[in-house]
Structures are given as structure tokens and as C-alpha cells.
Amino acid sequence: MPELRSLEIFYWVAQLRSFRGAAERLNTTQPAVSQRIAALEAELGVRLLDRGARSVVTTAQGRRLLDYAERMLRLRAEMLEAIAGAEAVGGVLRLGVAETIVHTWLSRFIERAHALFPAVTLDIEVDVTPNLRTGLVGHTLDLAFLMGPVAEPSIANLPLCRYPLAFAASPRLPLGPGPVTIDALLGWPIITYPRSTRPTMELLAALRMPGAAAPRLFASTSLATILRMARDGIGISVIPPVVAARELADGTLCLVATDITPPAVAFTASWPTGPEEGLARRLAELAQSVAAAAGHA
Amino acid sequence: MPELRSLEIFYWVAQLRSFRGAAERLNTTQPAVSQRIAALEAELGVRLLDRGARSVVTTAQGRRLLDYAERMLRLRAEMLEAIAGAEAVGGVLRLGVAETIVHTWLSRFIERAHALFPAVTLDIEVDVTPNLRTGLVGHTLDLAFLMGPVAEPSIANLPLCRYPLAFAASPRLPLGPGPVTIDALLGWPIITYPRSTRPTMELLAALRMPGAAAPRLFASTSLATILRMARDGIGISVIPPVVAARELADGTLCLVATDITPPAVAFTASWPTGPEEGLARRLAELAQSVAAAAGHA
DNA sequence: AGAGGTTACGGGCAGCGTAAGGATC
DNA sequence: GATCCTTACGCTGCCCGTAACCTCT
């Protein structure tokens, strides 16, 4: 009689197409996974996985079992929540967060998450959106707050908040009063997110005027670094004003009025769907309400 | 993380309202059951069962878990059949059979059951219908072919066959030719099923004529005994002719034409519904087709 | 006293981790 | 040679069974 543990191990091997990956995912060793899979195949008298040289693929029977395994694991998760309640939902949830969120409502989210799920440990990893996306599809993250949505079939998305971008510069920069033209703007380096991110790509497209010089870009994955460079007068930053509230308040940075409106950045909570998505989904919904309460919806 | 084995044990304890009963049902010892239940309660941090002095009842949480447990066990059974196929469905199925069935198509059923489910062992118990019914509700039988249907909410029924009853007596009985009147009939003891069975009750009701003497009843739980007494000329038997084919063919018994038609006996395959009813249901359907093929539908 | 659940204790075995082996690119 | 799965092996700890204990009728 197959036990749930075996089905869970099979589920992750099939999902990740890797014994090793499943072992890491389940905090065990790779031979242990091998043994359980072998035992499961023997128990059912059926070959479940084709071990290729550098790939593991499910057989037809394996795919059928995968479907059942997912349903059973889902049922167990639902059962645990129904019986033991949210307080008992435990374990580690690996959360990836884009830096912008860190500077806005992440700490409030952590507080409320801890209050709702005291037995859950959040492993937080701050990184840029493309890396977070990779982490989600590779199942090394259970949930991420990133510039979304993530357009993958196995990833679910929930919109969190939109931040309009704005130009902000040190008041020492001789920009003069009144709206700044694009030409004047392009005389300074643009300090913002890396080129690989969507808002920066859109910004560059908006700034690229025929005949004008290409904008100089000072990109950084670190918001703190962007702000620091802007305060130092190195150039003009493009950021959501909300992450620079302190600098704007104490006058070390000023918003720059221009005749172009930079794009807005939209964030989503995104997670890989699966039998254990319950906690991720609940936390995503919590994040949504926290973001809304923070007035950034 | 609760394993299926624990949920299965809990299921049976809750269902049978007994640790001991569950232990027997699952071929294990009572302390083992105690331990699993205690561990399960500790795991979930919830009391599942109230151990009364002479009774075990589920708590509210226990009832909720019971629902999930049944769904999970059902899913596992379905999965096993889907993946491993019917050949791999194994274990012991305790089948109760009314004696009439033994004399008609039981052996054919056993053959076909063995062919379809080679890994299943049939534990067969021949008894009278009331005892079989008790066995079903007490979960000591997984399936029974009896005079049904069994009107219990937790018992499912599938009609199998109907046998008209007939009067049969030794040719040495001086009954004379032509139809026998009720009065003449009542001069002899009626040899048939025990008083507690439905066909006998109906028969007695039909024979009870105003002013006439009450019929003398020679009841036996054993069909072979009934036939033996009839062949010995002790009285007139009331039986389905199909179980006395040999005696009718070799002339040791003759059908007695009368002006009343005795009732028919109807048999059903009946089994307790539950997460593991799959095999019982399949065998019940098989029995239905065997009975139909035997021409007794 | 007897039925039924709990506690205590010892042994067997499943399952895990470490380490070595083998296949494929 | 690097990567990934398999096999071998020793050990831990879970789980089961036996037996004694407790409680209620």
C-alpha cells in the first residue's frame, strides 16, 4: 500500500524531472529518493519513470499516477488546514521579493504573515525580478513578489500594486525650474533598474527620440544604490517616489517635472501551482490586502 | 504529516466505534491502534475520539477528519486500480452466501472471480440471511449474497436473481393426481426455511386460512436437510425448484401442483459502502452477470 | 469478573545517510 | 571528467506485538 510520503516523493521527482532536485526539495538525500521510487514501482508492479542519461521522464502510467498523487497531496493539505487550522500550517516558505517591495510594505506583510501563520518560517530572498522568475519556475521559490505577471502555465499570479515611476534628482543639479525637456534630461545619466527589466525597457523606448543621443544608463539592481547615486548628483533617477519618501521629505532628492510620463511598474504575487500551493496562495492574498491597505493598490 | 496508514486506522476506529474492532479488521493488535490514534491526535494537535467507558465516539473534529479520511482512502483505492489494474487488487474479501446460492451459481461465480481478480482471496461463509445481514452491518463481511435488499443506509444492494418457490414432495406421499387443495396441503408439515426469513413469513401468511388449522412448520437453515426431509416423506417442502434439480430429475422429489402460488425469494448482492467498496462492488456486478447468465435473473 | 483502552517494554525492520559503483555526455 | 542515478551497507528510530495495568459495568 503506497503511503503518502512515497507519492509526495514521486510527485516532486516527476515535477522536477530529477531525483536530485526532489531530494533537495524534500530535504533528504538522493539515494533515499531512488529507494522510495524503486519501492513504489515494485509495489505497483509498474514502471513509472524512464531514467534517461540526462533526463527523467514519466511513463504513461507515471503520468496517470502523477495526477492521483497531486489530488491526494492536495486533499491532505486541505485536510490539514481544515482540522488543525491555520496555526498548525507549518514549514518553510521560500519567498522571493523584489527590492522595491522591501522598501514599501514588506515588513508589514511579514508581521501579518507571522501573526496568521505562526508556525511558518519565511525564508526571504531579495533579488531582481528575472532571477525571482527563474526561482519560481525552478521551484526554488514558493512565492515571489515581483514585477509580474509571470506568463508561465504553471505559475499563478495575483496583482499586488502599481507604482508610477518618476524622475527624481538631487536639488543641486542645475535643472532650473519648470518642466525639463527630454533633451535636457538626456544630458544626464539615467539611474534606474537594470536594462533587463520591463520598466527600464519601456522607459528607454519612450526616451529614444529620433536624432537625439541615446540616453546614458546607470543601472543598478540595488534601489539603495540608485538613490545614493541620485543624491550624489551623478544623474537623474527614475524610481517609484514611494521608495524615496525619506529623501523627498528631507530634500536630498526632488521630483523633476518633465513633459514625458515614465511607465509604471506593476507587481504581482506569483507562485507555482501544485498540491501545496495552499499556503502560497493564502500568503499571496494576504500580500494583496497588505498592499491595498498600504494604499498602493 | 499524517500517513495514509494512520488515516486508515482512524477511519476504521471511527466507523466501528471500537479500537479492538479496528485492530481485528486491520489484522493488527489493539495497542498498535491505540498508538497510531494517539500519534495522529498529537500530530494534528486535536482530540479526535472521546473514549467513553464502553463506547468510542468521534469528536466534531474527528467527524471532519473522518470525511477527509474516507475521501483519501477512496482516492487511493481508485488510484490502485487505475495504475496497477484489476490483477493487482489484492487482499481478502469476506463473502457471506445464503445456502440457496451455493446450490445454484456460486461455483461459477468463484471461478470467474478468481479469473478476474487472481490476487484476491475469497473467505466464504455460508449462513442464513439474518446472520449475513448482521455480518454486513458489523463489518465482519465485505459482501454477501442474501435475501435482500438490506435496508440500511450504509449498505448498498444490487439485485441478483429471483427464484419462484414451489411445493415439492416425495412421490410416495399419497397426494393423488391433480392440484392439491390448501386443506390437503395443511395435512402435511411444511418443510422450508426458518420462520425468521421473509419468504417463510409470506408463505405462512398465504397459508393461514380462516378456520383452518395452523400449518405445521419444519424449519431448517440447511437446504440439504430440507431436501432430505422431503425425500424421506416427512412433509412437503417449499423450495426454489432450481436447488433441487437433481432430486426432481431422478424422481426422488416431485413438484406438487396447488391452487396457491408460494412467494418468490429475491436475492441481492449487498455490501457496506465505504472507501474500499470498490472490490465488493465489482464482485457484486460480477455476481449479477453470473446470475443473469445462469438464467435466474 | 470481564470487556476495552492505556501504558510499558523489547525486538524487528523499514528507511535514511554515507560511500562506492556505473552509465552517459 | 562531470553529472546523475544506482547499489551497498550500517545504523537509527519507528512501529508492532506481548504483557501488565487501569477503569468502568
- CB A45 to CB B88 under 8 A? yes
pLDDT in the model for residue A212: 66
Closest chain A residue to B75 measured between Cα atoms?
Answer: A72
Residue B157 CB neighbours (<10 A): 16
* Smallest CA–C1' distance to D22, residue: B53
CB contact under 8 A, A5 and B5: no
Q: Chain D positions under 7 Å from a protein CB? A: 4-8, 15-20, 23-25
The more confident residue out of A195 and B20 is B20
B47/A contact by beta carbon, under 8 A: no
Q: Report d(CA B190, CA B200) in Å as an integer.
A: 10
Residue-wise pLDDT tens digits, A110-126: 999 999 988 888 888 88
Buried b (16+ CB within 10 A) or exposed e, A232-249: eebbbbbbbbbbbeebbe
Q: With CB atoms and an 8 Å threshold, state whether A46 touches B80.
A: no
Per-residue pLDDT band at B210 (split at 50, 70, 90)? low
Out of A2, A4, A84, whose CB is closest to B44? Answer: A84
Interface of A with B in 152-181 (CB under 8 A): none
Closest-approach residue (CA) in chain A for B90: A1
Q: What is the 3-state secondary structure (H, E, C) of chain A?
A: CCCHHHHHHHHHHHHHCCHHHHHHHCCCCHHHHHHHHHHHHHHHCCCCEEECCCCEEECHHHHHHHHHHHHHHHHHHHHHHHHHCHHHCCEEEEEEECHHHHCCCHHHHHHHHHHHCCCEEEEEEECCHHHHHHHHHCCCCCEEEEECCCCCCCEEEEEEEEEECEEEECCCCCCCCCCECHHHHCCCCEEECCCCCHHHHHHHHHHCCCCCCCCCEEECCCHHHHHHHHHCCCCEEEECHHHHHHHHHCCCCEECCECCCCCEEEEEEEEECCCCHHHHHHHHHHHHHHHHHCCCC
Per DSSP, the three-state class of B32 is helix
Distance B114 CA to C5 C1' (A): 40
Question: Global pTM?
Answer: 0.79
How far apart are the C-alpha atoms of B189 and B209, rounded to whole Å?
16
Beta strand B91-97 pairing with B143-147: parallel
On whether the CB atoms of residues A123 and A94 are closer than 8 A, the answer is yes
Question: Does the C-beta of B35 come within 7 A of strand D?
Answer: yes
CA B106 to chain centre: 13
Confidence band of B203 (pLDDT split at 50, 70, 90): confident
pLDDT at residue B36 tops 60: yes
CB within 8 Å of B101: residues ≥ 6 apart? B145, B160, B267
Candidates B279, B218, B269; CA nearest to B96 is B269
Rounded (10°) CA dihedral B87, B88, B92, B96: -30
B81 interaction partners in chain A (CB closer than 8 Å): none
The answer to whether the Cβ–Cβ distance between B72 and A61 falls below 8 Å is no
SS (H, E, C) B199-235: HHHHHHHHHCCCCCCCCCEEECCCHHHHHHHHHCCCC
pLDDT in tens, B7-33: 999 999 998 898 998 898 888 989 999
Nearest residue, CA→C1' of D16: B32
Q: Does A123 touch chain B (CB under 8 A)?
A: no
Residues of A in contact with B45 (CB under 8 A): 84, 88
A65: chain B residues, CB-CB within 8 Å = 79, 83
pLDDT at B297 over 70: no
Does the structure show a pLDDT above 60 at B71? yes
The nucleotide minimizing the C1' distance to residue A32's CA is: C16
Predicted local distance difference test score (pLDDT) of residue A120: 86
Q: Confidence class of residue A14 from pLDDT cuts 50, 70 and 90?
A: very high
pLDDT at B172: 87
List chain B residues with CB under 8 Å of A1.
4-5, 76
pLDDT of A261-275, one tens digit each?
Answer: 888 889 999 999 988
The upper half-sphere exposure of residue A248, i.e. CA atoms within 13 Å in the direction of its Cβ, equals 13
Q: Does B4 touch chain A (CB under 8 A)?
A: yes
Contact A222, A99 (CB under 8 A): yes
Across the interface, do A44 and B84 touch by the CB < 8 Å criterion?
yes
Residue B127's φ and ψ, nearest 5 degrees, are -160, 175
Average pLDDT, chain A: 87
Query: Does the structure show a pLDDT above 70 at B191?
Result: yes
Q: How far apart are the first and last CA of chain B?
A: 50
Confidence (pLDDT) at B296: 57
Best residue of A83, A89, A276 to probe chain B, by most B CBs closer than 10 Å: A83
CB B3 to CB A1 under 8 A?
Answer: no
Q: Do A79 and B65 touch (CB under 8 A)?
A: yes
Hey, which residues 71-110 in chain B have their CB within 8 Å of chain A? Answer: 71-72, 75-76, 78-80, 82-84, 88
Show the cell assigned to A176: 532650473
With cut-offs at 50, 70 and 90, classify the pLDDT of residue A162: very high
Residue A97: pLDDT above 60?
A: yes
Q: Would you call B40 helix, strand, or coil by DSSP?
A: helix
What are the pLDDT digits (tens) for A131-148? 899 889 888 899 999 997
CB contact under 8 A, B61 and A79: no
| pLDDT per position as a tens digit, B105-115 | 999 999 999 99
Render pLDDT for B247-256 as a digit per residue (tens, 0 to 9): 899 989 999 8
User: Closest approach of chain B CAs to the CA of A7, in angstroms?
Assistant: 11
What's the Rg (C-alpha) of chain B? Answer: 24
A:43-62 Cβ neighbours of strand C under 7 Å: 53-54
Q: Give me the sign of the Cα torsion angle B257, B261, B263, B265.
A: positive
Cell of B175: 397426494
Provide, as residue numbers in chain B, all residues whose Cβ is less than 8 Å from the Cβ of A64. Answer: 82-83
Nearest CA-CA partner of B25 in B236, B266, B274: B274
| Among the partner residues A4, A64, A84, nearest to B3 by beta-carbon distance | A4
